[in-house]
Amino acid sequence: MEVIPGAVLFLLFLWFSFWVGGAMDCAGNNIVHTITVDQQGKGEFTTVQAAIDSIMKFNNRWVKLHINAGTYTEKVEISEYKPCIFLEGAGKEVTTIRSSGYHSTSTIKSSVKNRNENTGAIFVSFPPNVIVIGITFENSFNLMGSQPIQPAPAAAIYGDKSVFLECGFKSYQDTLFDELGRHYFKNCYIQGEVDFIYGGGQSYYEACTINATQEKPSSTGFVTAQSRYSEKDTSGFVFRTGSVTGSGEVNLGRAWGPYSRVIFYGTYFSSIVSPQGWNAWNYRGQESKLTYAEVDCTGPGANTTERVQWRKNLTNSQLNEFSLSSYINKDGWLSNLPIKF
């Protein structure tokens, strides 16, 4: 094996560091190139993955993929070496990326620290600076009556500064793997029943519709399974306005980490929300470390008289820490994107 001189390694390190730093803001908010994807051949590519593959590695300028209406039967992955990608569909009702896949429960639940695990997700995004608008991601594995039910993510998000506007995520168990980095979801539709928003992301969900699809009336589902692992861990899920509706009965969350953190603020809860609301799962006896809170929520499911006693009551100053600007946007990155909210 040829040994690379130390000076060369140092130069490579400087170059990579410079590239990462430059990619963090994609050199501003200008789109330098647009690629059209169309199933009927009216664009440069007929599949989304082929269009992504055409983008050079270490891309550091915004490239938009405009995806025309249609159902694209494929799995899509954005490499960690391809930041600054903007996927624009024609609307979540008419642009869908759909396929079927699953992973074993033991694979995902026993290896949460392994960021490159195979989640079976239909859409996987690794790099920072990714924008997605107007697309539905659907994992059809559990939606086709497949038995037994398996974890089957529609999407897995690992990259910092990722934005999803007016998108859809459909599956049954483990729908949205919100795993790593700061993420902003707005006006999205998220459908599932078991741990269907899960992971260790630091994420803000604004005006999102959460739809529980109970299959077995005798069981109780879980909207979230957040995996915060230490007191210093910045991760957590904040839901601002929006709604939790559907059929059957669901808990708002269960702990997938000893410091799990989920906050609902001003959210409408239909009667499907269970009276107890929350579940410590494998962390019974450690409930004081969990941060589960409901603030100014409304609807028949917002009655907290029978909630678990260890649910947190946040002060105004604590609540301010979880505003959009304070929680995920202290450096103002949301204002430096090629979109307007």
How many CB atoms are located within 10 Å of the residue 296 CB?
Answer: 11
**CA atoms within 13 A of residue 284's CA, in its CB half-sphere:** 4
End-to-end CA distance of the chain: 52
**Residue 136 near residue 170 (C-beta atoms within 8 A):** yes
Indicate which residue of 174, 178, 296, 331 is catalytic. 174
Let me know if 134 is exposed, middle or buried by CB neighbors in 10 A (0-12, 13-18, 19+). Answer: buried
Q: What is the Cα–Cα distance from 29 to 247, expressed in whole angstroms? A: 42
Tell me if residue 296 is catalytic. no
**Residue 269 near residue 300 (C-beta atoms within 8 A):** yes
Instruction: Give the residue among 321, 265, 262 at the shortest CA–CA distance from 295.
Output: 265
Instruction: Give the residue among 284, 274, 140 at the shortest CA–CA distance from 220.
Output: 274
How many CB atoms are located within 10 Å of the residue 87 CB?
Answer: 27
Write down the H helix ranges in the chain.
Answer: 6-23, 48-53, 105-109, 316-320, 324-327
Q: Measure Cα distances from 325 to 2, 84, 182, 228 in Å.
A: 49, 22, 12, 21
Q: What is the Cα–Cα distance from 225 to 198, expressed in whole angstroms? A: 5
Indicate which residue of 160, 195, 233, 296 is catalytic. 195
Tell me if residue 233 is catalytic. no
Instruction: Point out the residues that are catalytic.
Output: 174, 195
